[in-house]
Amino acid sequence: MEHRRDEHRIHLVVDHLIGCPTRRKPVLVGDVARGCRALSEAKGNELGWIIENLAIQPDHVHPVVRVWPKDSAADVPKAVKGVTAHELRAKSPHLRKTPSLWTRSSFASTAGNVSQETIRRSIEAQKGMEMIRTHILPCTIPRARADELNRASGEIYTGILVAHWRLVRKKRLWLSEGAGRRWSDTRTDARMHAHSIDAAQEGFYKACDVTRALRRAGSAEAKFPYRRKKFRTTVWKTSGIQREGDILRLSGGGRTKKERDERAVVVPIPERLRDCLRFLEVRLVYDKYARRYTWHVVVENGLKPKPAPGANVVSVDLGEIHPAVVGDTERAIVVTCRERRSRSQGHAKRLATISRAIARKAKTSRRRRRLVRARVRMKAKHARILRDIEHKVSREVVAFAAERQAGTIVIGDVRDIADGVDCGAEHNGRMSRLNHGKIRAYIEYKAAAEGIKVELVDEHHTTKTCPGCGQRHKPRGRTYRCPSCRFQAHRDVVGQVNILSRFLEGDVGRIAAPADVKYRIPRDVRVLRRRCGHQPEGASRPLRSPGERSPAELGPTQEAAGL
């Protein structure tokens, strides 16, 4: 940013300002936000100001303005608020419901003691351009203190839950969120920050919102929360987090400074997080498998997503045997990871065995309690293993998209694959173990970091339709054989190319299947094999013709040429 010159002066005066609508109402959206931006820029040009940056959020505006030396920091918000309030309230009648559009108060600061890069990053963060990540850190506070915090959160949550259903049962009244929080505030003396208490109170009503959304989506079996919780994850929001050098001080509440200092919890900041822009949230989470507490720290790392690698489009077909098939019109890869299926099947059998054993024990017996704890640890361990595998599968999908210079990833929408369908216990069990939602979520956030957007496309008839002639035929086995044109290919590759065809051409069967198809095993994932043959790491070999060999018979290769 260069200095400005006039006849007798050389100057660089930059004001950093924040203004809010009355009562912090989120009204700066849509046409109102666009009108606010246009009017602000026009007023700046009229007075000779240069608006270096302007972030408009629903409940505040955050401009950085270069002004003349004669202009004070109060002149800018006064001028901008005046013209925007008059014009916007005249065009939008709903803005006239409050006494004024803007509050009288505002924030103003010169940029002298803050670098321009810091201001730019702060503005970009408010525009939603920064990446938010969650990091897991070891918890070093005493176990008794951690138990006390999560027990207090559980008591607050359970108190609202019990009061709510008691009122429903006796008075037929649904307790609103505001009334529930006010009721809870008069009955809690938890040694926690006020906003941590709010987070525990909000947990019940957020769960109710999720249930309503599921029922609107057609899930009639979704239930409102009814189980009491002895322990619940404690959450510290931004207001309860204070950074002091290389540590985070988490507020524990208290009326006096001495009480606040005694209750505060200190979390060391590891070196890899010391350059983060903001710490948004800290959660105290109990790891059931490891039987210890961990910190889940949500940070805004100050890094912007990369520009899109290109304008190509790749499509993804999610499956149960092969987690994903990703490709474009020229090349496709089958991400094969049969360990995920094997782990899920084995876990289901062990879970059924231990559940039958629990059912045979008396409810108050010590043996039953031991079995219940063992089942909890087993489920937690299985969830960690699957999460690791799903992260590696999603990484392979995004890496292939970046390799093919894709700007868009199209995923087949299988969210309703098991809705209202009863195909027998075995098939229903396999569908219930298909974690397609998590893989899709992992692909979305990894793709966003690479500058790639993700779209969902209806997947109906994508595996049945022949890419060669457009005829429908239900395949059997892993190979698709068209009886009309004798076309043969891997059935998941047919699904992948038809998803791409529906996105690009509007219907299935209009794009030929890619000729170059390979199998790829995610890095560091052990493959369960039927045969004992081994190959060196990184080796590859061509597959035989479709149907002659199962992908499970492949050795531990990173990529095997196929089809």
Distance, in Å, from the CA atom of 534 to the CA atom of 555, rounded to the nearest integer, reads 6
Can you give the pLDDT at residue 420? 67
56 has which bridge partners?
61
What is the DSSP annotation of 10-64?
Answer: EE-EEEEEEEEEGGG-----HHHHHHHHHHHHHHHHHHT-EEEEEEEETTEEEEE
pLDDT band with cut points at 50, 70 and 90 for residue 6: low
Specify the amino acid at residue 297: V
CA 272 to each of CA 267, 269, 276, 279: distance values in angstroms, whole numbers, following the listed order: 14, 8, 8, 13
At 126, list the tokens.
């408010």
Residue with token string 């063992």:
374
Can you give the pLDDT at residue 42? 87
Q: What residue spans of 315-424 are helical by DSSP H?
A: 338-359, 366-403
Q: Count the alpha carbons within 13 Å of 184 in the hemisphere toward its beta carbon.
A: 30
For domain 4-129, the question of CATH label 3.30.70.1290 is answered with: yes
pLDDT band with cut points at 50, 70 and 90 for residue 534: very low
Residue among 561, 475, 549, 462 nearest 513 (CA) = 462
Residue among 284, 187, 191, 273 nearest 235 (CA) = 284
Distance, in Å, from the CA atom of 349 to the CA atom of 505, rounded to the nearest integer, reads 44
Can you give the pLDDT at residue 2? 65
Q: What is the mean pLDDT of the chain?
A: 83
**57 Cβ contact partners less than 8 Å away, ≥ 6 residues apart:** 28, 126
Sign, CA torsion 531/537/539/545: positive
SS (H, E, C) 138-195: ECCCCHHHHHHHHHHHHHHHHHHHHHHHHHHHHHCCCCCHHHHHHHHHCCCCCCCCHH
Distance, in Å, from the CA atom of 298 to the CA atom of 319, rounded to the nearest integer, reads 31
Domain spanning 312-337+384-562, CATH architecture:
2-Layer Sandwich (3.30)
pLDDT at 426 over 80: no
Domain residue extents for the chain: 4-129, 135-300, 312-337+384-562
Please report which helix (H) or strand (E) contains residue 318, including its range: strand 312-318
pLDDT single digits (tens) 155-208: 999 999 999 999 999 999 998 888 998 999 888 888 889 999 999 999 999 999
pLDDT band with cut points at 50, 70 and 90 for residue 62: confident
